[in-house]
Structure 1
Amino acid sequence: MHKEINSAVQVLKEGGLILYPTDTVWGIGCDANNPDAVNKIYKLKEREDSKALICLVADDRMLTKYVKTVPQVAFNIIEVAESPTTIIYDEAQNLAANLIAEDGTIAIRIPDNDFCFQLLRRFNGAIVSTSANISGQPTPKSFKEIAPPILKGVDYVVNLHQEKICAKPSSIIKLKNNGEVKIIRQ
């Protein structure tokens, strides 16, 4: 696993794209602070750049680096969630401008997955995580279902957990600073 993490981190630092297993589905990732890398993902996925992307962070400390004010209830949700949960926060900061939604929000998940945790800690920053498919196409449930244009379009494919079958993408909750909660995807 260390070799795969080191190789992926090197590609991320060079502004490249990685294809990697997450706690949910296979993801296309890049440095969340690199606007050129974020643009590469939009182009590869043939996705409008007005549609925001999710990013992953390793822990609460890293979360507070990218969200100006994390509501206390967010920490409670993260602690009690029984399945992978992405939270959309107000007042994103310290991220590539083209990663932040027009309303200033950002979708972030702390993955419950040893590989992702180690990758995020070693990279020491947020990593984009978007499903490994062309926009409008079904999300692949396994590595074998990833389309050739995606496989060819990334700079590095992590050689771990390629046999894993993924159940579904994360739940998404929008959490406003005023305490308003809205379920986006269950």
Structure 2
Amino acid sequence: MLKDEIAKALKIIQEGGIILYPTDTIWGIGCDATNTEAIQKIYKLKQRAESKSMIILLDTDAKLPSYIREVPELAYNLIEYAEKPLTLVMPGARNISPALIAVDGSVGIRVAKHPFCEGLIQRLRKPLVSTSANISGSPSPQYFSQIEQEIIDGVDYVVDIDQHSKEIKTPSTIMRLEADGKFEFIRR
């Protein structure tokens, strides 16, 4: 089942589509982080200003240097020891669509600890875009049945995993981490 869902989602993403999928936090809308056209589809679906950047997911922190020019040493410790999912916003973003890079050159990255995400990112060999599965300004859904029909109808594929789970999920902690190791919490 997991393998089949990864294969179906991978095909859609490789064809430039967008998917609705479970993560280690809340349900997300995602696509290939190097495909600007697909990213713009997500902005349009969410009715979100393109100035509000979205994050990318990786399957392992070993891939951080591929997408961040200078990874602060502290980043690895934070990821390893964080008790709940942690998104790090770091400067020096590279090798992803310019549509994901904030004006200051930063991007938010989370190492996803979810079997579907890990498997999909490994097979895709690129980061996966992740943004909450809601229209901009609406509350983030805590589980699948709270996702608005407009979102479900607007994606190219809905992953058939965890849809019946009522486990309440919350968004990740977000921390800005500078190249020199200075950090601040954006969302706890």
Query: TM-score, normalization: structure 1?
Result: 0.98
Match of 1:171 in 2: 173
Task: Give yes or no for contact 2:176–2:183 (8 Å, CA) kept in 1.
Answer: yes
Q: Give 1:24 shift.
A: 0.2
User: AA paired with 1:135?
Assistant: S
Task: Give yes or no for contact 2:36–2:97 (8 Å, CA) kept in 1.
Answer: yes
What percent of counterpart residues are identical? 47
Match of 2:135 in 1: 134
User: AA paired with 1:181?
Assistant: F
Query: TM-score, normalization: structure 2?
Result: 0.97
Q: Give 1:167 shift.
A: 2.4
Secondary structure of 2:39 counterpart = helix
What are the superposed Cα offsets for residues 23-69 of structure 1, whole Å, 9 maximum, x if unpaired?
Answer: 00000001000000110010000000000101101112222211111
Match of 1:16 in 2: 17
Match of 1:180 in 2: 182
Unpaired stretches in structure 1, ≥5 consecutive residues:
none
Task: Give yes or no for contact 1:15–1:30 (8 Å, CA) kept in 2.
Answer: yes
Secondary structure of 1:115 counterpart = helix
Q: Give 1:166 shift.
A: 3.1
Unpaired stretches in structure 2, ≥5 consecutive residues:
none
Q: Which runs of structure 2 are paired with 1:34-53 in the superposition (5 Å)?
A: 34-53=35-54
Report whether the alignment pairs 1:113 with 2:114. Answer: yes
CA RMSD of aligned residues (A): 0.8
Secondary structure of 2:53 counterpart = coil
Q: Distance in 1 between matches of 2:61 and 2:85?
A: 15
- How many residues were matched structurally? 186
Q: Distance in 2 between matches of 1:62 and 1:149?
A: 34
Report whether the alignment pairs 1:147 with 2:121. Answer: no
User: AA paired with 1:149?
Assistant: E
User: AA paired with 1:147?
Assistant: E
